[in-house]
Amino acid sequence: MLRNLTRMPADMSSDSRRQLLNAVTDLFLLDEEPSDLAKAHYGEIAVHSLSHLESTDRKDYADQIAAVPSLPREVAVTLASDSDSDVARLVLKLSPVLSDTDLAAIAVSQSQAHLVAIAERARLSEGLTDILVQRGDRDVLQTVSANQGAAFSEGGFDKLLQRSSGDAIITGALARRSDLSPQRAQRVLQIVRQLNDGSAAQTADGASLAQQARQQRLEVKLLLADLTASVRELDDVVTMLAEDDRAYHLAQVLAQAGAISTEQALRVLMQRDVSGIAVICRSLSIGEEAFRALLELRGRRLYFSSQDLDDALRDYKRLDAATADRTLRFLKLKTKLN
């Protein structure tokens, strides 16, 4: 069927193409694991149709499929590269299909609105933040500096500090980051103290922000020590950090408890597919209330609906602990072999 639909007549109206694309998309989404051939045919239909649709129709379609993991790459790239940033926004922000190479190509060629959408992604590599910091305007810099899932190279962080001079929003966001090393925190504080010619109010505000960041880093160290000593329950710590929206610190806790790296824990925590974090939490015997708090953190960050959260919690209740243990052991072995 899909193969035949790729031979669409050239004189189809825009409305007919929209209706056809919607119908084919509904069929495509019924299959959670489409074959490569089905994806190829669907991709051809979608890309061909998009070039004939009005921007409002392209946006409606993009919003519908932005987070679909089985979406053909050429469709995701076409939408993410759309000159209309309203069309591209959700795909740039949510699509798991786009690679760093795809995003980098868009980041160096498209508008500032496109860059803001990229800066909102749950996770950003150092290479991508380098581009955002180099090309981005104030909106981009403010967004990426507040993104706890964004990693910064030394050069990128230096450039961000340089370009943030005079912007209290950017320096304040950097001061509150949970992943700041002591060296970076000190440099941020120096910038904060220089704002508004070093006024006492700004200096006090900057010191307060830096102190808050230091306190949070100390707090998570104490929490990790308490967990090791069995002074605190893992569920209580997970709930507290999730409710405070401290994703990085939560990843640190899960990493220690699960004997994996913080990077691995943060990756599964912030990816749209819930199965990875569910496996880790079930293996650690994390209860349903604590997992619900974790899901709500993910919902705030990744824009899941309440129904999505309910479905994820229901599936978590059904997840067998022995299966989760075996899966986690396999993932650890695979990581060591790689």
- Three-state SS letters, 55-103: HHHHHHHHHHHCCCCCCCHHHHHHHHCCCCHHHHHHHHHHCCCCCHHHH
Residue 110's Cβ-side half-sphere holds a number of Cα atoms within 13 Å equal to: 28
Say which residue the tokens 């200096």 belong to: 203
Mean pLDDT score, 164-183: 80
The first and second tokens of residue 318, run together, are 């059904």
Name the domain boundary from 44, 64, 98.
98
Measured between alpha carbons, how far is 163 from 167 in angstroms, rounded to an integer?
9
Measured between alpha carbons, how far is 14 from 35 in angstroms, rounded to an integer?
28
Split into its structural domains, the chain has a count of 2
**pLDDT cut 90: percent of the chain above it:** 53
Measured between alpha carbons, how far is 176 from 208 in angstroms, rounded to an integer?
10
pLDDT at 337: 39
Measured between alpha carbons, how far is 155 from 147 in angstroms, rounded to an integer?
18
Amino acid at 97: V
pLDDT for 7 beyond 70: no
Query: What is residue 331's three-state secondary structure?
Result: helix
What is the CB neighbour count within 10 angstroms for residue 11? 6
- Is residue 206 included in any domain, yes or no? no
pLDDT for 1 beyond 60: no
The first and second tokens of residue 242, run together, are 């999730």
- Is residue 74 included in any domain, yes or no? yes
* Residue 150 phi, psi (nearest 5): -90, 130
- Is residue 15 included in any domain, yes or no? yes
- Is residue 153 included in any domain, yes or no? no
- Is residue 54 included in any domain, yes or no? yes
Name the domain boundary from 32, 63, 98.
98
Name the domain boundary from 38, 64, 98.
98
- Is residue 188 included in any domain, yes or no? no
- Is-contact 121 149, C-beta < 8 A? yes
Say which residue the tokens 């104490």 belong to: 222
Residue 2's Cβ-side half-sphere holds a number of Cα atoms within 13 Å equal to: 20
The average confidence (pLDDT) of the chain is 85
pLDDT at 204: 47
Return the higher-pLDDT residue of 307 and 272.
307
Residues 6+ apart with CB under 8 A from 237: 223, 226, 227, 253
DSSP 280-291: HHHHTT--HHHH
- Is residue 79 included in any domain, yes or no? yes
- Is residue 174 included in any domain, yes or no? no
pLDDT for 6 beyond 60: no
**pLDDT cut 70: percent of the chain above it:** 87
Our measurement of the distance from residue 171's CA atom to the centroid of its chain's CA atoms, rounded to an integer in Å, reads 22
pLDDT at 144: 95
How buried is 86 (Cβ within 10 angstroms: 0-12 exposed, 13-18 middle, 19+ buried)?
middle
pLDDT for 331 beyond 50: yes
pLDDT for 157 beyond 90: yes
- Domain assignment of residue 321, given as a range: 233-337
